[in-house]
Amino acid sequence: MRGPHNLIRLIRTGATFERTGAMDAVLEGLSAPWQLRALVRTLGWPFKWLGLRGDPALPPVVRAITALGPAYIKFGQILSTRPDIVGEDMAQQLKYLQDQLPPFPTEVARQMVAEELGQPVDTLFADFSEPVAAASIAQVHKARLADDGRLVAVKVLRPGIERAFRKDIDAFYFAAGLFELFLPSTRRLRPLDVVAHFEGVVMAELDLRLEASSASEFVANIGTEDGIQAPEPLWRLSGRNVLTMGWAEGINLADLSALDRAGIDRVALGGKVLQVFLSHALRDGFFHGDMHQGNLKAAPNGDLIIFDFGIMGRIDAYTRRVYAEILYGFIRRDYRRVAEVHFEAGYVPADRDVEAFAMALRAVGEPIFGMEANRISMAKLLAYLFEVTERFGMETRTELILLQRTMVVVEGVARSLDANINIWQVAKPVVEGYIRSHVGPIALARDLADTIKVLARFGPKLPKLVEDVLIAQTNRPEPPAPRGLGWPLTLVGAAALLGLGLWAGLMLG
């Protein structure tokens, strides 16, 4: 229930950060001004006793987040990939959240597997290990199939995880409502819609049958693509609470020293992470939406191994073109075209000045090209970009939230592998390839062919449609002073439509 009782939960969130000592670390990492620090100290101290204690063995920020629940953990995972925003020390602490959380007992996991699959674990698996990784939603066990001896990963949801997530999301809805009520300026960001989007993503992640389906589609999209691997799901050993997939052997991308010892080219691997995300988002419109280091490994031959398909994103063909043109405009430093694309797509209200918007975008983009990658402050860049969107009345596009969030995470992973990576240079071949095949004469011809196919499906209905048009025109009162061809043009248009449909039917039949 999204009632006032959630106010207590929000107060407890701040109090938990205060009690665990995480508040100071957060304010320091975000370089908060002294005025904000004083305000937080004043408001937080009286409620400190309400805060959750957490695990004293953990660093303060991790201790607070793990105590508060899975939704907070998911947010911490995102920040763990952005040392340029939260600071190197905090980012290192937050990496604990990716796959090192406390596991639940193996016996509980075995019981859940047996109940889900309808057979005892010892019948299905020759070996079933202790947890090898534990994250916010599930934990993974390494097992060996009893029938053919293959190594597999068995993912099991945490007991009671759905109820815990719903409590967190309920509080988020309440907080979003307060923002919209008391801070009207935040309404353009549509906080309630953002939370609703987050809820949809999380609820889908809690059904492992959907993850199995996503993994199957992702593997099919990869095909014979060089340099990428992804484990396939085993449908007969999967269900709502259990997912069994092929075992992926490799080095976690967070273990930089292990990558170096194995002779993995981290520069090439960083570029591959970014290019894989962009190519799948643009080419397929279906991309991995949780590409932090905990879900990525490097194979001994340098291949990128991608797993954990609980959060996947989709974008339609039109949005992919808009996204590609915006990226391409930034790469070419054509800020006027970037501005025009925003207006054409309706991202910026039509009554705003396109030239002024282009100038503001130049102020966002030029610093990226004008300095070395390791000197770019993404925190300052994002802060200025936020100011630009507010100034020009841009609303949050909920359909792009996951895409934008994943882009931030992917860039963070790439930078962790290569601090000097030039994201625009790495993205250029992928975006240019998409532009060549999807924007221009070739794309126009393909769109016309698709249109003809659609019209051909309506071939049998076209005579009736033309008849209805003619009857409607015949029964329409005559205009007092006809100035154009009107009715004859309508007839010609209907005849042309009929002819086009018949031609398409013959060509495609």
Instruction: List, by residue number, the catalytic residues.
Output: 290
Burial 222-253 (b: 16+ CB within 10 A, else e): beeeeebbbbebbeebbbebbbbbbbbebbbb
Phi (first) and psi of residue 243, to 5 degrees: -135, 125
Q: Report CA dihedral (39, 42, 43, 46) to the nearest 10 degrees.
A: 170
- Angle (CA) 153 159 162, round 5°: 105
Q: Which residues lie across from 229 on neighbouring strands?
A: 305
Q: Both ends of the chain: CA-CA distance in Å?
A: 56
Strands 125-134 and 286-288: unpaired
Contact between residue 426 and residue 271 where contact means Cβ atoms under 8 Å apart? yes
Residue type, 21: G
Contact between residue 10 and residue 174 where contact means Cβ atoms under 8 Å apart? yes
Q: Computed from CA positions of residues 167, 69, 309, 92, in that sequence, does the dihedral angle turn out positive or negative? A: positive
Cβ partners under 8 Å of residue 99, min gap 6: 133, 134, 135, 252, 294
Long-range contacts of 449-453 (CB under 8 A, 24+ apart): 452/500, 452/504, 452/507, 452/508, 453/504, 453/508
CA 139/CA 396 separation, integer angstroms: 33
Segments in 333-440 forming alpha helices (H): 335-344, 354-370, 378-391, 401-417, 423-438
Give helix 487-508 / helix 441-457 axis angle, nearest 10°: 90
CA 140/CA 151 separation, integer angstroms: 13
Structure tokens at 354: 């396109």
Cβ partners under 8 Å of residue 5, min gap 6: none
CA 99/CA 299 separation, integer angstroms: 18
Phi (first) and psi of residue 305, to 5 degrees: -100, 125
